Structure 1
Amino acid sequence: MTSKRAEKSGIRALPRRCLWASRKILCPIHLPATSDTIAQRPGVTPKSESQLNAPRNLERTSPGPVTNGGSPRCREDGSGAYVYIIDSGINFSHTEFSGRALHGANFIPGSRDCDELGHGTHMAAIIGGTTHGVAKNCTMISVKVVDKTCMGNGELLYKAIKWATEDAIAKGIANKSIMNMSLERNYSANVNSAVKKATDAGITVVVAAGNRGRLALTYSPASAMTAITVAASGPDDRRAWFSNYGPCVNIFAPGGRIPTTSRLVDNGPGYSGGTSAAAAHVSGLAAHFISSENLRGYKAVRSRILSAASKGVVKDTRCSSNRLAFNGVSRD
């Protein structure tokens, strides 16, 4: 499709992003899986309190040295927390998930329940993978709204949010549940209203700010007032060049080239990035606080995430809240 035709159809062609028409939704960034540059890291056991030699993105949100040769540690667990991942599905059999990734719902007609794109698996690994994850013992529930061509429908996104909200309420787990949406569409009052109903039920909703380098207020669910909207920072704690920004951004989290997993093989690694990955980090932190501090409900979890964050360290925020995600554990 030429750029002129793309303009007419409402699609804006940008590098490294899956963009869809105004009535569609978007996975903010999807990087191809690779397997030649990530070593499996030792030191991770179920319910372990710390992870030695953790990936640097986990170190940045956890206490530990940041100098070369240090031994970064992350102490999150996530036991008893539930994360609804509204995305492209999950590779349920991947060894990173140890049976904790479950099928919830599939809103793509004719598609398999598993991840046929890779984006949802990447997010699940950052949220709760045993090696790459922030909350290594949380339970993850897949809600599929994105197909293998990176396409999704805005109406289905609304239905997916509604389904996840009703499922959490029916199971009595709403106040210890998180909803992660590492995706984007143009502003939608219906989508934002569905987010409000989820948070009213006690669910903590974490969303990506988006990857267009624009004001996040013009996109959904980033503009939903009760969501935790997450922008991406790079390894130098500067706002990533592609990250959306503005007053509705609540917090930054690592969104550079993040080690994660591959959907292609059950024990393979990969990379991801963008505000998608940044949101996944914060969803993992939400699961951590629900588990480690016995917090319950959207208001308590949101307040703790924002109060624990490192203040004033992000460069070039462009009117976004200057907070960098941190797990609140003493650095001593």
Structure 2
Amino acid sequence: MRTRRRLRARILGGLFCAGLVVSGTGAPVNAATTENTVTAASDPGLPGTQTDSPQALDVLDQRDLRPSGSFSWRTTARNVHAYVLGDKIATTHVTFGGRAVNGPDFTGDSQCSPFDNWGTGLASAVGGTRHGVAKEVRIVGVRIMACANTTPQRLVQGLDWVTANAVKPAVAVLNVTAAADPAIDAAALRLIHSGVSLVTDSGTSSSSDSDSTKVSPAHLPEAITVGRTWGDTIEPAITRTGRNVDLFAWFSTMAVGGGSDEYSPTLNSAGLAAGAAALILAGQPAWTPAQVHEALVGNATPGLIRNPSRGAPNLMLHVSP
């Protein structure tokens, strides 16, 4: 019990990255478009099994949340691109195997370290070789955060860049939310309507509000909105919930730095779901975001959460082995 409380305290201490976005404006920058010249491979990759998988990954292919000691997949999603909106990614980390690149920087900030553990961690949950669901997905970082902060303008710029430059099939993921904002919602819908699936975190609870229907872009029905659990338990102080939440996923281990460092746990539930969406797209590259959304929710496991939230579904992310 003490260990769990210590872990919970560490998690709560780092929630700023998945909380509400501060208001303000961000300096625009010229977006690099070299990634648009990369042609996606047609091969979705081979099935396989990982025997040293972290617990949050281990249980994804289990219907009862009991660790089996391994994680299995049908494809590695090598024909899919994943766009990670957050801070820059430490692309030299061994978990990416040379598959990750950094795209545009919309922060205009050279004072803060450009490489944030949260950006690298989110990307590793999507497609890291040890921590990730989609083992060979091509990862592109889109920097919209600096010093653990962002703005609505940067969110819009990042979403619109992916809309204009995504190599499809593609999924985009972010674990940053903002107070409900029409401009962010419009940018998110432009992205989804362009054919890119959007996976977003449900947001972090505040002391006075835990309603995920009040944050953008998580409240959009078209987005795949993911809440966080610690095992089979929703921690009210850690995740927002509401009728807009599609499913939940366990916290995941993250990769940090440019070498082989790890830190556990963190708030990368959305990253795991984005990796699962990439696996769906690998097998069905012509599917629309609505079809990917339906498949992801339809494959989730019902009834596993001990303390389901009113209005939110009792569904846990599942990846069929």
Asked if TM exceeds 0.5, the reply is yes
Task: Please tell me whether residue 73 in structure 1 is matched to residue 59 in structure 2.
Answer: no
* 8 Å contact from structure 1 (residues 55, 259) kept in 2: yes
**Offset, 1:292:** 3.6
Partner AA of 1:23 in structure 2: S
Paired residue secondary structure (2:85): strand
Task: Please tell me whether residue 259 in structure 1 is matched to residue 253 in structure 2.
Answer: yes
Task: Please tell me whether residue 318 in structure 1 is matched to residue 318 in structure 2.
Answer: no
* 8 Å contact from structure 2 (residues 212, 218) kept in 1: yes
Structure 2 CA distance, aligned partners of 1:218 and 1:287?
A: 27
Structure 2 CA distance, aligned partners of 1:150 and 1:186?
A: 17
Moved beyond 6 Å, runs of 4+:
none
Partner AA of 1:223 in structure 2: H
Structure 2 CA distance, aligned partners of 1:17 and 1:232?
A: 12
Match of 2:177? 184
Paired residue secondary structure (1:199): helix
Paired residue secondary structure (2:49): coil
Structure 2 CA distance, aligned partners of 1:224 and 1:24?
A: 22
Match of 1:327? 319
Q: Deviations over 1:21-75 (max 9, x none)?
A: 64169xxxxxxxxxxxxxxxxxxxx95611113211112211488657x422231
Structure 2 CA distance, aligned partners of 1:24 and 1:233?
A: 31
Paired residue secondary structure (2:203): coil
Give unpaired runs (5+ residues) of structure 1. 1-13, 26-45
Task: Please tell me whether residue 232 in structure 1 is matched to residue 228 in structure 2.
Answer: yes
Change (3 A) 1:157 1:65: closer
Q: Deviations over 1:125-152 (max 9, x none)?
A: 11100111111100011100001x2111
Partner AA of 2:211 in structure 1: L
Q: Deviations over 1:78-108 (max 9, x none)?
A: 2111111000110011111011111211101
* 8 Å contact from structure 1 (residues 58, 74) kept in 2: no
Match of 1:23? 23
* 8 Å contact from structure 1 (residues 106, 113) kept in 2: no
Structure 1 CA distance, aligned partners of 2:308 and 2:140?
A: 35
Match of 2:86? 87
Taking only the aligned residue pairs, the percentage that are identical comes to 19
Structure 1 CA distance, aligned partners of 2:318 and 2:140?
A: 24
Question: Residue 218 of structure 1 is aligned with which of 214, 219, 222?
Answer: 214
Structure 1 CA distance, aligned partners of 2:243 and 2:218?
A: 11
Query: What TM-score results when the alignment is normalised by the length of structure 2?
Result: 0.81
Change (3 A) 1:202 1:113: farther
Question: Residue 207 of structure 1 is aligned with which of 197, 200, 211?
Answer: 200
Question: Residue 298 of structure 2 is aligned with which of 298, 307, 310?
Answer: 307
Paired residue secondary structure (1:225): coil
Change (3 A) 1:151 1:317: same
The RMSD of aligned alpha carbons is: 2.4
User: Which stretch shifts more, 56-65 or 111-120?
Assistant: 111-120
Change (3 A) 1:320 1:295: farther
Task: Please tell me whether residue 280 in structure 1 is matched to residue 271 in structure 2.
Answer: yes
Paired residue secondary structure (1:162): helix
* 8 Å contact from structure 1 (residues 64, 72) kept in 2: no
Q: Deviations over 1:223-245 (max 9, x none)?
A: 1221001000111x121232100
Partner AA of 2:154 in structure 1: L
Match of 1:152? 150
**Offset, 1:157:** 0.7
Match of 1:10? none
* 8 Å contact from structure 2 (residues 254, 266) kept in 1: no
Task: Please tell me whether residue 120 in structure 1 is matched to residue 151 in structure 2.
Answer: no
Paired residue secondary structure (1:179): strand
Q: How many residues align?
A: 283
Structure 2 CA distance, aligned partners of 1:294 and 1:21?
A: 33
**Offset, 1:272:** 4.0
Paired residue secondary structure (2:155): helix
Task: Please tell me whether residue 291 in structure 1 is matched to residue 282 in structure 2.
Answer: yes
**Offset, 1:114:** 8.0
